[in-house]
Structure 1
Amino acid sequence: MLKNLKKNRFWLFKALETYALALYFIVKRSSGIFSLDGYGYLEVLDDPPFIFMLACVGTVALVYALWDVKNLYYRPVMTGLLTCVWSIFFLSFTMTDILVGVYVGFPGIFAFFVLTEMVTEIMAKG
């Protein structure tokens, strides 16, 4: 397992970042920060089904990082799920920032760099 962690440490960190995004929404949901008048992008995405989806996608990436699964197109499915999740949340953070009037907020910047790093890694390893 340690050999797989050394080999797949990039995907381990992506799994942990996905879990951190779910934790971010749990904390922000508790404080009621996403109460925008008429702009409910993040209000929809911080509901329990979407937080559960984030945890599931993080678990899929964590399983790949720990056990290096090589069958049934696991890696393309895992990378596709991670890219889709981070694209959705990057776009929702960006749209909310634009509608609120903030130039670019920290969550949007963070999601952009995670998404860019992931796409770069996928393209480099092919």
Structure 2
Amino acid sequence: MLKNIKKNRFWLLKALETYSLALFFIIKRSTGIFDWAHSPLSVLDDPPFIFALACVGTIALVYALWDVQHLYYKQIMTGTLTFVWLVFFLSFLANDAFLNVYLSFPGIYSFFVLVGIVAEIKWE
């Protein structure tokens, strides 16, 4: 397993970053301090979407730990990760537009995660 972690450390980090995004929404919802009442984030911070984030993070974690090589697992994993981070990046951008903010920290963070995933897919 250590050999797989060393080989797939990029995907391990992306799995942990996806878990951190789910944790971000759990913390925001539990504290009641959120500023997206009328943006796409008001839908995406609901429990089913947080559960979907955890599922996508688990898919990436399984690939990173066990290096699954059959049934197009890597393509499914990279596709779901890219989709999730793209949706949340666009939602953070829409929320920033509603609040008249250029770019917030979550928007910048999701942008760099998305760029890293796309770069890894392209140049792997």
TM-score (norm 2): 0.97
Q: How many residues align?
A: 124
Gaps (5+ residues) in structure 2? Answer: none
| RMSD value, Cα | 1.0
Distance across 2 between alignment mates of 1:98 and 1:22: 22
Structure 1 residue matching 2:69: 3-state secondary structure: coil
- Which segments of 5 or more consecutive residues in structure 1 lack a partner in the other structure? none
Task: Give a deviation string over 1:43-93, Cα, whole Å, max 9, x none.
Answer: 110000000000000000000000000000000000000000000000000
* Length-normalised TM-score, structure 1: 0.95
Name the % identity: 66
Q: Which residue of 2 aligns with 1:121?
A: 120
> What stretches of structure 1 move > 4 A for 4+ residues in a row?
none
One-letter amino acid matched to 1:81: T
Distance 1:2 1:36 in 2: 41
Residue 40 of structure 2 is matched in structure 1 by: 41
In the aligned structure 2, how far is the partner of 1:85 from the partner of 1:23? 15
Helix, strand or coil for the counterpart of 1:104? coil
CA contact (8 A) 1:34 1:42 kept: no
Asked if 2 retains the 8 angstrom alpha-carbon contact of 1:12 and 1:65, the reply is yes
Give me the whole-angstrom Cα distance separating, in 2, the residues matched to 1:100 and 1:34: 12
Q: CA deviation at 1:35?
A: 4.6
